[in-house]
């Protein structure tokens, strides 16, 4: 959470005089304009959001879309940029405050704005607003990324009343749309069922997407959406807005279609049970709402976000990623040094970069032999691992791979020394029966002492094992038994202060260990927001590694996340499918394995080694290329995606037959993103040893034009069949 004060302090004499005559504030990417204008009444309205306008001179034609007057004496009911409560607008407000005298209204007037060019691509704009009657000030902040066509927006709220005020609504951003219809795609989920996509047309009234889960926050609703503005979102073509909020806790998107058929979109922290007491002079910074508006469909919108994330948001967004072998699916809690050393050797045999030790390595008084005990006691279990972590790091090095470690440092089992010694560090009810989610409770990260403790877990492991190469950071429980012993009578701040505490820890880890790659995990993919991803190189999409299910899950997450941020492992889920199919599915993301090589036949192992070698050879294209989703698993019995290198000299095409019908009609797949004027060689790779490609045209050269217009016949009528095809410019 940013703590900086407003860049320019709001001088009382300057305030409240601006307004009419003020030039519109123009926030632009190369493709999009968001224009906010000051009406004669001195207030700020959205006057345009759409394709970038070619002529600055045309801005004078923009109108306020108000109902009622808009002169100084008669307030305008309209598209106010950041509407306060209790004014003439009767819809959900962006900001609501109970002032010291009990008054619940806030009306903000424009004070000033400034725009700063950060470099040739990024522009920052801040707009200062103030209430004329109460000393409340709001800064609306916007960052525009020109080439990536991304806008980020958030607000900062402060006041100078004598005593604290209560904030009960504090949106990051508000946007308005005037279209014939609005089609929303939302992403719901559960454990092993992440990012299920569903679409609906918005009708009069409100549709809310939100979570109240606190820590494993995105388990049932993911913090992003797609909004079709001229029909349901399509892959190629059509106007669509993709939006997401950077908040690793309770979030809320409110879509309100009003009586006039216009849509109001509010994004921010979920204010549920979170009326926040703000002290005089303190700044309340809301999370970033990040969005892109595309006129070329959701495919281009996704690529905008991927490019932006790699360049500006993900931890080490432009860096490499480590392939790995994890032990969770192969051993569960049941391992010892010998078994792990065997797996480390297997990692080397596979050709991956690292061995990752999962849950079950710690705690002595209450050993972590299952998920009922030990969480919180981060000393290595001496019975299982007498040599400790240093021995394992060394054993991995001896085997020729790096070593990574699983932790879940925000949580505690009641059966732990941590709980015995510090029950006051745990979110739980003092006077009610305790409810346990996965037998565990959430540490009270609003408490600075607990923040120190959690940071200390990572710091101690790293200090003792400086060559440890990676952490998988898990979070398996929502906030339950909602009561913070630290916040005492200020329980309404728990949900917000808890997340700020989590960020405090993330920030300290990143500051001290800037080059340490980390995977974000939350019982699968229940933490997947762009604020957390500033601190993590990748996230675990789902415990569901059945390759068929993964095709849908990866399709869903790819709407918002680049391939290098999405961890995908080859496991024994759905053993009815071949190891080739399972690997070809995981190949499109950040590849890993979580399987014992003992289960594989010689030719399967040989296939996997080849696939890892191909992955390493093509890593630049897979992790940093543009993603094109060619055929949707939601619409057919097949699916296909491809990565195209930024310079378009190389591409990788992945095609999957899921459960085709007998004698089904098969259509060619038209490629995308290639250079039409160039010639490319098409070659199937990732073949099982001893088998040859049956791809028609394998080894032939084609023009990009042909591949994109006529396409390739890649699909078959075999169930769970896959192909990986390398496309190389000649």
CB of 543 to ligand DGJ, least distance (A): 5
Rounded Cα distance between 389 and 382, Å, is: 10
Question: 64 to each of 47, 70, 429, 509, 598, how far by Cα in Å?
Answer: 5, 8, 50, 47, 69
The verdict on 406 binding ligand DGJ (CB under 6 A) reads yes
CB of 540 to ligand DGJ, least distance (A): 6
Question: Phi first, then psi: what are they for 116, rounded to 5°?
Answer: -125, 130
The verdict on 359 binding ligand DGJ (CB under 6 A) reads yes
Within 10 angstroms of residue 170's Cβ, the number of other Cβ atoms is 24
> What residues pair up with 201 in beta bridges, in sequence order?
183
Rounded Cα distance between 173 and 188, Å, is: 22
The verdict on 33 binding ligand DGJ (CB under 6 A) reads no
Piece of 173-181, 250-258, 521-529, 570-578 that binds ligand DGJ (CB under 6 A): 521-529
39: helix, strand or coil: coil
Nearer to ligand DGJ, 321 or 569 (CB): 569
Within 10 angstroms of residue 730's Cβ, the number of other Cβ atoms is 9
Smallest CA-to-CA distance from 303 within 729, 632, 554, 624 is with 624
Piece of 75-83, 517-525, 672-680, 700-708 that binds ligand DGJ (CB under 6 A): 517-525
CB of 327 to ligand DGJ, least distance (A): 10
428: helix, strand or coil: coil
Piece of 270-278, 304-312, 500-508, 520-528 that binds ligand DGJ (CB under 6 A): 520-528
Nearer to ligand DGJ, 238 or 523 (CB): 523
Rounded Cα distance between 331 and 63, Å, is: 65
Piece of 37-45, 93-101, 518-526, 616-624 that binds ligand DGJ (CB under 6 A): 518-526
Nearer to ligand DGJ, 474 or 546 (CB): 474
Nearer to ligand DGJ, 526 or 627 (CB): 526
Site for ligand DGJ in 663-702 (CB under 6 A): none
Site for ligand DGJ in 438-497 (CB under 6 A): 474, 476
CB of 170 to ligand DGJ, least distance (A): 32
Rounded Cα distance between 210 and 68, Å, is: 33
CB of 190 to ligand DGJ, least distance (A): 13
Q: Per-residue x/- marks for ligand DGJ, 529-548, CB under 6 A?
A: -----------x--x-----
Within 10 angstroms of residue 379's Cβ, the number of other Cβ atoms is 15
Nearer to ligand DGJ, 44 or 568 (CB): 568
CB of 580 to ligand DGJ, least distance (A): 23
CB 445 within 8 A of CB 498: yes
Burial class (CB in 10 A: 0-12, 13-18, 19+), 262: middle
> Which tokens belong to 434?
């305790």
CB of 132 to ligand DGJ, least distance (A): 52
CB of 666 to ligand DGJ, least distance (A): 36
CB 542 within 8 A of CB 554: no
The verdict on 405 binding ligand DGJ (CB under 6 A) reads no
Nearer to ligand DGJ, 328 or 455 (CB): 328
# chain residues binding ligand DGJ, by CB under 6 A:
11
CB of 191 to ligand DGJ, least distance (A): 8
Nearer to ligand DGJ, 210 or 359 (CB): 359
Give the angle subtended at the CA of 15 by the CAs of 9 and 21, to the nearest 5°. Answer: 120
Question: CB neighbours of 278 closer than 8 A, spacing ≥ 6?
Answer: 157, 158, 159, 164, 165, 166, 167, 284
Give the angle subtended at the CA of 374 by the CAs of 370 and 376, to the nearest 5°. Answer: 135
The verdict on 523 binding ligand DGJ (CB under 6 A) reads yes
Site for ligand DGJ in 227-286 (CB under 6 A): none
Nearer to ligand DGJ, 476 or 588 (CB): 476
Q: Which of 524, 592, 660, 704 binds ligand DGJ (CB under 6 A)?
A: 524
Residue whose beta carbon is closest to ligand DGJ: 359
> What residues pair up with 640 in beta bridges, in sequence order?
631, 655
Nearer to ligand DGJ, 458 or 618 (CB): 458
Nearer to ligand DGJ, 594 or 626 (CB): 594
CB of 326 to ligand DGJ, least distance (A): 8
DSSP 569-623: EE-STTTTS-HHHHHHHHTTSEEEE-S-GGGS-HHHHHHHHHHHHHHHHHHHHHH
Nearer to ligand DGJ, 94 or 469 (CB): 469
> Which tokens belong to 671?
């490629």
CB 569 within 8 A of CB 592: yes
CB of 585 to ligand DGJ, least distance (A): 17
Question: CB neighbours of 94 closer than 8 A, spacing ≥ 6?
Answer: 82, 83, 84, 155, 169, 170, 171, 173, 174, 266, 268
CB of 403 to ligand DGJ, least distance (A): 16
Question: 246 to each of 42, 81, 534, how far by Cα in Å?
Answer: 31, 20, 10
Rounded Cα distance between 667 and 340, Å, is: 47
Nearer to ligand DGJ, 37 or 381 (CB): 381
CB of 359 to ligand DGJ, least distance (A): 4
Nearer to ligand DGJ, 137 or 410 (CB): 410
Nearer to ligand DGJ, 524 or 660 (CB): 524
Question: Phi first, then psi: what are they for 520, rounded to 5°?
Answer: -90, 130
- Matching residue, tokens 């690529």: 303
- Matching residue, tokens 């055929």: 631
Nearer to ligand DGJ, 331 or 577 (CB): 331
> Which tokens belong to 178?
């005037």
Rounded Cα distance between 350 and 613, Å, is: 9
Q: Which of 31, 288, 346, 358 binds ligand DGJ (CB under 6 A)?
A: 358
The verdict on 328 binding ligand DGJ (CB under 6 A) reads yes
The verdict on 367 binding ligand DGJ (CB under 6 A) reads no
Piece of 244-252, 294-302, 317-325, 516-524 that binds ligand DGJ (CB under 6 A): 516-524
Element (H, E) at 370: none
N-terminal to C-terminal alpha carbon distance within the chain? 50
Nearer to ligand DGJ, 93 or 409 (CB): 409
Residue 588 backbone class (left: φ over 0; alpha: ψ -120 to 50; beta: rest): alpha
Q: Per-residue x/- marks for ligand DGJ, 209-228, CB under 6 A?
A: --------------------
List contacts with ligand DGJ (CB under 6 A): 328, 358-359, 406, 474, 476, 521, 523-524, 540, 543
């Amino acid at each position: 959470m940013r703590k900086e004060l407003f860049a320019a302090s709001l001088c009382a004499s300057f305030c409240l005089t601006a307004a009419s005559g003020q030039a519109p504030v123009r926030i632009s990417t190369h493709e999009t304009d968001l224009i906010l204008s000051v009406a004669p009444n001195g207030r700020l309205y959205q006057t345009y959001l759409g394709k970038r306008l070619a002529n600055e001179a045309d801005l004078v034609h923009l109108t306020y879309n108000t109902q009622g007057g808009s002169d100084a004496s008669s307030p305008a009911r309209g598209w106010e940029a950041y509407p306060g409560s209790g004014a003439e607008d009767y819809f959900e407000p962006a900001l609501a405050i109970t002032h010291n005298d009990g008054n619940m209204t806030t009306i903000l007037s424009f004070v000033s704005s400034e725009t700063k060019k950060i470099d040739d691509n990024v522009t920052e704009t801040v707009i200062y607003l103030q209430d004329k009657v109460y000393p409340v000030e709001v800064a609306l902040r916007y960052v525009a990324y020109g080439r990536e066509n991304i806008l980020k927006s958030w607000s900062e709220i402060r006041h100078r009343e004598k005593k604290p005020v209560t904030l009960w609504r504090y949106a990051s951003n508000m946007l308005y749309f005037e279209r014939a219809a609005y089609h929303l795609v939302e992403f719901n989920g559960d454990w092993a069922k992440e990012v299920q996509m569903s679409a609906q047309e918005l009708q009069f009234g409100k549709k809310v997407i939100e979570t109240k889960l606190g820590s494993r926050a995105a388990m049932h609703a993911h913090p992003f959406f797609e909004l079709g503005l001229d029909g349901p979102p399509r892959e190629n073509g059509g106007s669509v807005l993709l939006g997401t909020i950077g908040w690793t806790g309770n979030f809320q998107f409110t879509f309100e279609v009003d009586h006039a058929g216009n849509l109001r979109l509010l994004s921010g922290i979920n204010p549920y049970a979170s009326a926040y007491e703000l002290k005089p002079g303190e700044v309340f910074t809301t999370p970033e709402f990040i969005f892109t508006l595309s006129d070329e469909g959701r495919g281009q919108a996704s690529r905008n976000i991927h490019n932006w994330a790699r360049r500006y948001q993900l931890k080490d967004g432009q860096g490499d990623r480590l392939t790995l072998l994890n032990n969770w699916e192969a051993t569960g809690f049941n391992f010892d040094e010998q078994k792990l050393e065997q797996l480390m050797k297997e990692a080397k045999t596979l050709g991956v970069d690292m061995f990752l030790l999962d849950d079950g390595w710690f705690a002595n008084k209450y050993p972590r032999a299952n998920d009922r005990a030990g969480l919180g006691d981060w000393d290595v279990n001496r019975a299982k691992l007498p040599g400790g972590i240093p021995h394992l790091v060394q054993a991995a090095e001896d085997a020729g791979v790096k070593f990574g470690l699983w932790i879940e440092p925000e949580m505690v089992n009641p059966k732990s020394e941590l709980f015995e010694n510090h029950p006051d560090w745990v979110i739980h009810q003092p006077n009610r029966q305790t409810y346990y989610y996965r037998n565990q409770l959430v540490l009270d990260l609003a408490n600075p002492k607990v923040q120190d403790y959690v940071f200390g877990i990572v710091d101690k492991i790293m200090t003792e094992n400086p060559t440890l190469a990676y952490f998988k950071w898990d979070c398996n429980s929502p906030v339950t038994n909602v009561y913070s012993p630290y916040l005492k009578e200020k329980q309404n701040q728990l949900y917000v202060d808890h997340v700020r505490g989590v960020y405090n820890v993330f920030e300290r880890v990143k500051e001290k260990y800037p080059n340490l790659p980390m995977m974000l995990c939350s019982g699968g993919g229940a933490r997947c927001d762009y604020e957390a991803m500033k601190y993590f190189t990748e996230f675990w999409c789902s415990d569901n590694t059945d390759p068929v299910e993964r095709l849908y899950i990866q399709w869903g997450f790819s709407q918002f996340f680049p391939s290098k941020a999405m961890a995908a492992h080859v496991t024994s889920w759905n053993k009815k499918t071949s190891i080739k199919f399972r690997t070809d599915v995981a190949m499109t993301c950040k590849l890993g394995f979580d399987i014992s090589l003992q289960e594989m036949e010689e030719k399967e192992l040989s296939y996997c080694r080849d696939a890892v070698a191909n992955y390493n050879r093509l890593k630049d294209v897979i992790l940093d290329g543009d993603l094109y989703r060619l055929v949707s698993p939601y619409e057919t019995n097949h699916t296909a995606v491809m990565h195209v290198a930024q310079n378009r000299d190389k591409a990788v095409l992945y095609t999957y037959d899921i459960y085709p019908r007998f004698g089904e009609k098969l259509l060619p797949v038209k490629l995308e993103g290639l250079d039409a004027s160039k010639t490319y060689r098409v070659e199937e790779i990732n073949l099982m040893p001893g088998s040859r490609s049956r791809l028609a045209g394998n080894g032939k050269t084609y023009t990009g034009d042909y591949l994109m217009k006529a396409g390739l016949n890649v699909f078959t009528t075999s169930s769970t069949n896959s192909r990986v095809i390398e496309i190389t410019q000649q």
